[in-house]
Amino acid sequence: MTRRPFSTWLAAIGLAPAVSHAAPAAGPATFTLSDAEWRQRLSPAQYAVLRKEGTEPPGSSPLDGEKRKGSFVCAGCELPLFTSAMKFDSGTGWPSFFDTLPGAVATRTDYKMILPRTEYHCARCGGHHGHVFNDGPRPTGLRYCNNGVALKFEVAA
């Protein structure tokens, strides 16, 4: 198999790293707590995802079906990451968004599944949220696949 069809196949199944429109590379977090403070602040499920880069089971988050107008904020530090206008139903079982608020997330390449993926974190606290793929809708073509437990939803006033 040549490189081009292989990379096309990876993109088709959502495993190729997102390169266009990607957020800046992860830098130092500006909202920091000790491990003990994070454990006190977060539920065990939130801690596992946000601080240990875990993944919740697909279909487990009520935020996947959230349809009201509002903002999705980081469950760790409450930084707004997405608006409801950026959300779409990807059919994956996780809340998905085609874009982020400016400066809200930072990315880095993740090799945990052997093949490279683009992982994204909250730009303020460094909490892990999910991965971004090149199989989303227009206008960006991106799918920010987010762990629902890493988010809180704030209904618009």
Residues noted as catalytic: 145
Torsion angle, alpha carbons of 45, 49, 55, 59, to 10: 50
Closest to 76 measured CA to CA, from 124, 119, 28, 27: 124
- φ, ψ (nearest 5 deg) of residue 132: -115, 135
Is residue 95 a contact partner of residue 64, using CB atoms and an 8 Å limit?
yes
Q: How many CB atoms lie within 10 A of CB 32?
A: 12
